[in-house]
Amino acid sequence: MRVALVVPGSLDTASGGFAYDRALVDSLRAAGETVRVVSVPWRRYPLGVVDSLVPRRLSPPGFDPDVVLADELAHPALLRSNVDAPIVALVHHLRCDAVDGLDATVARTLERRFLDDCVAAVCTSRPTADSVERRAPGLRTHVAPPVDTQFDPDVTPAEVDRRARREPFRVAFVGNLVPRKGVLTLLDSLAGLDEPWRATLVGGHPDETHLRRVRERIRRRGLGDRVRITGSLPTEETAAVLRESHVFAMPSAHEGFGIAYLEAMGFGLPVVASASGGASDLVDPSTGVLAEPGDVGGVRDAIAGFAADRTRLAAAGRAALDRYAAHPPWSETVAGVRRFLRATVDRRGAVVGDADRDDDSGPAPQTETGGRGG
């Protein structure tokens, strides 16, 4: 099977979504598939639509793909394309789910147009697939969750129990310091805690304006001696932060899946996560709390509940370890994606074969219902 993967900018971009794309490329190649990567311009949203004014060929010169797998992040540049192969969207999350106001209106319009050109979608969580299906009824979807490929925690239940009794109470955040990740909500919630606490914020800060807002919020709330901003850290140092923490909190506006939540569970950390998006695939009352985006009181109560009841904290940490262990392995994810892409190619072949029949050959037998043709 020949696959063209379309991404915005560079596949080497540092983010969870691009890490997923890179792992998928490597695994598909290791399984014997031929994969070529196609880069389209990545501009400030939604200026990428200028790149769709001229139909874009979604494959390298001389490469005739059986299927095009297009990262949904590139959708503004892909509203018009020049390709004979079926297009499958690779959706980490829809932009319209993560923004509001006029931005959401524009994103809904552009994403719907992009999805209309697709015959199917690979989604990283069930909630993301549900959102895609609402925007594009009839589009076939397949859920292919990411896995923790960064850490090998090897944390035991006994370690979780011992850690639960340590002071002070420690909160970890791992993610880029951008507005969507809910850092300001987290800081405001921490300011209302009665228990002694410390918090460590790990991650890059590509938005310097937002970083200044974060620092100002820390200053204004008088949190300077209790909040540490580390920037991006090597894997070993990030693991050390998670290993010594009690709770992982990232109350994002929206997460398509939230790989950081799963990674934290591997260290036996209960999770305070966003109720919007894919975290509900991971977090339930036994492993953490889902808070509505922007709900400072809800986040504060969730963290305070764990800080005040260390028996509950330890039980939730052990449940998090169990949930991490039960997560499907990457080999299962890749095998599912391969089957889904091959089925998409086979469907297109069947449709083309039907179109090539003589008029008196009669209708082709129906072997599948539902979903779009292609």
Buried b / exposed e over 50-60, threshold 16 CB at 10 Å, is ebbeeebebbe
Quick: pLDDT tens for 285-313.
999 999 999 999 999 999 999 999 999 99
Residue 130 lies in a domain: yes
My answer on whether 91 and 187 are in the same domain is: no
Residue 17: CATH number of its domain: 3.40.50.2000
Specify if 168 maps to a domain: yes
Q: What is the pLDDT of residue 355?
A: 44
251 and 342 together in one domain: no
| pLDDT, tens only, 63-107 | 999 999 999 999 998 887 778 899 999 999 999 999 989 999 999
User: How sure is the predictor about 14, in pLDDT bands with cuts at 50, 70 and 90?
Assistant: confident
Say if residue 289 is in the same domain as residue 342. Answer: no
Q: Are residues 136 and 256 in the same domain?
A: no
Residue 148 pLDDT greater than 60, yes or no: yes
Within this chain, do residues 133 and 192 fall inside the same structural domain, yes or no? Answer: no
Radius of gyration of the chain (CA): 22
* pLDDT for 232: 94
* Co-location of 57 and 95 in the same domain: yes
Residue 373 belongs to a domain: no
Q: 127 Cβ partners below 8 Å, 6+ apart? A: 277, 278, 280, 281
Q: Is residue 167 located within the same domain as residue 271?
A: yes
Query: CB neighbours (10 Å) of residue 100?
Result: 11
Quote the CA–CA distance of 86 and 304 in Å, as a whole number: 50
Structural domain boundaries enclosing 242: 157-326
CA distance 374 to 361: 21
Please report the sign of the dihedral spanned by the C-alpha atoms of residue 63, residue 66, residue 70, residue 75.
positive
List the single range of 4-18, 229-243, 360-374 with lowest mean pLDDT: 360-374
Quote the number of domains for the chain: 2
Residue 84 identity: D
